[in-house]
Amino acid sequence: MIIICETKATEVQINALQEKIREAGLVAHRSDGVEHTVIGVVGDRNRLDVGVVSMMPGVRDVVIVSTPYKLASREFHPEDTVVRVGETTLVGGMDVAVMAGPCAVESVDQIEASAEFAAASGAQILRGGAFKPRSSPYSYQGLGLEALKLLRQAADKHGLAVVTEVMTIEQIDTISEYADLMQVGSRNMQNYPLLIALGHAGKPVLLKRGMSATIQEWLMSAEYILTEGNPDVILCERGIRTFETATRNTLDLSAVPVIKHMSHLPIVVDPSHGVGTRRFVAPMARAAVAAGADGIMIEIHPNPDKALSDGPQSLNFEEFGLLMNRCRIIATTIGRRLGKAK
């Protein structure tokens, strides 16, 4: 249930409403929009008499939300949510954020060169795996804590924020010391204890779509984080499993407008894992910006052929620079601003 307050509702009236909800044993989530304050009510709604609530002072409307996700729904929060990452980067609204970096941090030289080029090309967020969720236990697993330090150092030197994946609850404290944005990988999208813990981590979360998840299941996972009190969730489309084998996954770009319709949360697109092959990354990145994505996440490497993970889908610096120029033009054409302001 969502309670939409009158434009002129007073603080006393809003507090009384929240108190009424709590008395009924339900949880109230307040969201102050441009025009209205909206209160999302979570819990068994039979405990609250809709007739009584709609007659309370300051109430304009009571809407029963039919979707299982409530706080992630557009109805709860009609305006787009804009998430701040680090000190200066905004994801959502007018801005299209750029996250770039290697699949995994491999060495000081590799991450330093990547950060330098990413920043010079206008990216704002440095990516790089420290703890890697590899499909094979024999593949490169990442440098762990050492990688976090290298990422932070390179990012600070070039004025970038840091995004890196957190795989377990135990890693949250350490990773949040070094990262500005906590990535939940595709394989962990339905790791509910991890999502609940990230609801209390005090850092924004980049929630990748599970490789077999429907959009509704993905939004339900976002709901786990939101309902624990963390409003800063960014969704990331990274491709889903279909019968097609010509690409690593099938990048579901229709998820961009669909999510925009269903939810207020920002959505970014990761074409690198979506297609898995270098030559297909740039066209899909450009299409993602044209479709209205709030950001793109691109794997880049100083020498992709020597990369320890995901080399075949990583762009070299020249390819990335060209892609940035083209994406900037597309963003401007649709009235948005891509990457760092020049």
| Cα-to-chain-centroid distance, residue 113 | 25
Residue 133's binding partner among Mn ion, ligand PEP, none (Cβ under 5 to 8 angstroms by kind) is: ligand PEP
According to DSSP, residue 305 is labeled G
Query: By C-beta, is 103 or 222 nearer to Mn ion?
Result: 103
Give yes or no for residue 186 binding ligand PEP (CB under 6 A). yes
Report the residue number, 73 or 186, with the smaller CB distance to Mn ion: 186
CB 298 within 8 A of CB 315: yes
Q: Is residue 95 part of the contact set for Mn ion (CB under 5 A)? A: no
* 99: β partners: 125, 297
DSSP character at residue 152? H
Please tell me whether residue 340 binds ligand PEP under the rule CB under 6 A: no
Selected from 75, 95, 106, 165, the binder of ligand PEP by CB under 6 A is 165
Q: Which distant-in-sequence residues (6+ apart) come within 8 Å of 196 by Cβ? A: 224, 225, 228
Smallest distance from the beta carbon of 93 to ligand PEP, in angstroms? 24
Q: Which residues is 29 bridged to in the sheet?
A: 40
- How many angstroms separate the Cα of 144 from the Cα of each of 86, 103, 128? 21, 13, 11
Is 105 a binding residue for Mn ion by CB under 5 A? The answer is no
Q: What are phi and psi of 333, to 5 degrees?
A: -60, -35
Does position 307 bind Mn ion by CB under 5 A?
no
Tokens at 226, concatenated: 């939101």
Q: Which of 242, 313, 320 is nearest to 275 (CA)?
A: 313
Evaluate whether 295 touches 91 at the Cβ level (below 8 Å): yes
Which does residue 122 touch among Mn ion, ligand PEP, none (CB within 5 to 8 A, set by kind)?
Answer: none
Binders of ligand PEP among residues 254 to 293 (CB under 6 A) are 273
- One of 70, 152, 238, 248 touching ligand PEP (CB under 6 A): 238
Closer to ligand PEP by Cβ: residue 4 or 297: 297
| Site track 105-144 with ligand PEP (rule: CB under 6 A), x = hit | ------------------------x---x-----------
- State which residue, 208 or 260, has the beta carbon closest to ligand PEP: 208
Residue 254, classified by CB atoms within 10 Å of its CB into exposed (0-12), middle (13-18) or buried (19+), is exposed
Binding residues for ligand PEP (CB under 6 A): 103, 129, 133, 165, 185-187, 208, 238, 273
